[in-house]
Structure 1
Amino acid sequence: MEDFTGGVTEFYELKEAPKELYKIMKKALERGSLMGCSIDSIVPARFETRTLTGLVKGHAYSVTAVEEVRNKESKVRLVRLRNPWGQVEWNGPWSDNSKEWATLSKAEKEKLQHQNAEDGEFWMSFEDFKKNYTKIEICNLTPDALEDDKIHKWTVSVNEGRWVRGCSAGGCRNYPDTFWTNPQYRLCLLEEDDDPEDSDVGCTFVVSLMQKNRRKERKMGANLFTIGFSIYEMHGNKQHMQKDFFLFSQSKARCKAFINLREVTQRFRLSPGEYVIIPSTYEPHQEGEFMLRVFSEKKNTSEEIENRIEADHPVPAPASAGEESEEDQQFRTIFQEIAGDMEITANELQNVLNRVITKHKDLNTEGFSLESCRSMIALMDMDGTGRLNLQEFRHLWNKIKQWQGIFQHYNADKSGSINSYEMRNAVNDAGFRLNNQLYDIITMRYANENMNINFDSFISCLVRLEAMFRAFQAFDQDGDGTIRLSVLEWLQLTMYA
């Protein structure tokens, strides 16, 4: 049903059906949803076998109506089903010729369009339906699949995303160090359902998480991931939620289980408000694309939470006046030894930095590459000479010391590298607010095959970020967050950085 319509399907085992199943089915039919049900047969050989009650095991029935009628004693809930064979019907209470029909008025019979015919369609009580059938599937259709204006349609929002290994494939809540890096979607539930009979109304919505392209990739040996989602309440936060939020917040709702199906779907009811949905694979580092859909009875909005891109320190801090530290004096000595009162080139910068950095055994680094040193000169070279004077060099060293402290904080195991998830926090600590797309790029560009980033790559990344933020600010004279560059300016900017 889903593949033909593009809808979202809910599955209910009738033994464990929610207490409001009758209402769910009634509302589903009012929305033009498609409904099918079946009776499980444990033995495959018994599929399509007729039981004494006239029902057929291992066979698909459609649900065509749900009604409540009043007979002499009380109200009775009824379900109308259809056997697609066009024959073979239920022969129990409320079947075509049963005595129960005699208890109804003519008007009630007309309301149910009751007729005695071997047409495969029959009524049965809702209680008998639950006792005899094993499962029901409800395919909720998107508004564009429904042409009838009288049908009360769902409000639907659709978001497409991906999990990227080393960046946004954080796994489930069992992995607190990485869970927060998963894509996050803000869901605003704006209005309560129209349900005068229900004192505890709230907003009804259905969340569907589908993994994309896995069937196509099965030929290459890819299996379905085990997927699921959690929902947390949030209060006006416009930024990607960080690790601490999930360490100290309970989820408001979640899917029943993580499961290796193409799609996981579940119905919820929550108070109006703002929530964040976290779709994830069960284990971290599993890379794939997904589609997250939300169907709600009333208006809802959902969108990916993306950080505003900004930097705290795009302008270099002036060198502090006052007494030189022992390290500064050492630097001046090495600088003068190499350059005298002149300026130093990238090769000479590499020599100076690596002589100092080798004294920091805790960094476990082989030193800076020539390419990194060229980028550093591009960052600090205010006069466009391609070299650094002592003052520019001092600025640079102060930056490197600050970044070195951040690196050491995350390099707690003294391995000489930090992993790509820690890199997100390290970049944030250095004063750069980025979004998922940029973290993806940083991981692809600077991490090794084990998703680790060494000290040289870490400094290179921050140098590049600082340089590009600073260049952007220089061009963004009116501060509107957009710039216009000629091809020459674009190439000068990117080739030198």
Structure 2
Amino acid sequence: MSQNNLAGNRLQADTMANKCLNQDYEALRSQCLMQRRLFCDPLFPATSKSLGYNEFGPNSVKAKGVEWKRPGDLCLRPQFIISGATRTDVCQGALGNCWLMASIASLTLDKDILTRVIYPKQNFTDKYAGIFHFQIWQYGKWEEVVVDDRLPTKNGKLLFVKSAEQKEFWSALLEKAYAKVNGCYENLCGGFPGEAQEDFTGGIAECFLLNKAPSNLFDIMKKALSRGSLLSTSIIVNGGEKEKLTQEQLMEKHAYSITDAKEVQTSEGRVELVRLRNPWGHIEWTGAWSDCSKEWSQVSPEDKAMLDCSADDGEFWMTYADYIKRYSKLDICNLTPDVPSVDNLRSWNFCQFEGTWKVGATAGGCFNFLASFATNPQFWVKLDIDSEGDGKCSVLVALMQKGVRKAKQTGLKPCAIGFFILRFQISIRESKMSA
């Protein structure tokens, strides 16, 4: 994509975005510059309220000793981005939010999408006023989220996400913006990567259970990565709530991002490989095709250099066969037509509906499901077959609940929701409908 197109997409995105909590970034920054002061966000203050309510609550052990500091208090000459935003800039901190970290790491693989989210030209020098802004998709609309740059620290170090580059702060500030949207940092504990991937792209996430993986899943993964989709994965086990390390150094109940899928030629034939990244930035798979394993001797020096198989950064390769054997779940966030880098999706039709299920109005009682089914919201979708293609077409349907994560601190849990897709065929000639 040309720089002109990218700038145009950025301008269009800015115009379309809502001002979250009615905070205008340009107006607030201009005011701070005029008054020669640094911005302090009154709607997400540097207090225990923004940290959390339980584990990070006001009187908790984890919140004890926390100090809010600006990047300039932590190092000399801080920078927003150093040599481009990359997946190694995302190292998980004290929050149990690996699902979010995996999503942010995947986000860095597509620079056009990343540019829409983080405004890469922000810095700590030109018209610096202690204020930054990001775009996050919320329930059908992009929201421009403003934050100040006071970050929670302990003993002079960032408490939550950090970059491998100690002077780089885009990932920490993005995490703060996401915490603000969701009420507090602690509300980010626990979740599924597909949720954050949707919030960073406006896309639609779908899930594959790997014990029922389709025969062409590797090709699906390659195609998804090539068109900019975000991929993440995890190992699901029953019992216990904490992450647990296997003998092969894979973490159970922990989200990984999938950053590549390649076929390589070896002395024994072609091998399908998948590249994963632990958002911690360390602890890697130790099995076949792990960093510096003997299998790499079967690959040409050129391929070995291209695949970068030896860096100790939490990223590793493994065969596709080993992947589907050891992992449980794959999330793919499919991008929608308004994303700058997905010109191949321009022919898609995208629509959304918003409403509320209310007993007696738009929904029946839960104990009389069949009798009340007809009162539920219903929408007709016409599928147009591509006459120039294979005679098939695709439709993606997603359903989400508003404000569930923000309501965690009140004890509110997500409701059980779902939808049915019913097939109807209409014969125009006979004017009859059959289900």
TM-score by length of 1: 0.40
Q: Which protein shows a greater Rg?
A: 1
Higher relative contact order structure (alpha carbons within 8 Å, sequence separation ≥ 6): 2
Q: Which is strand-richer, 1 or 2?
A: 1
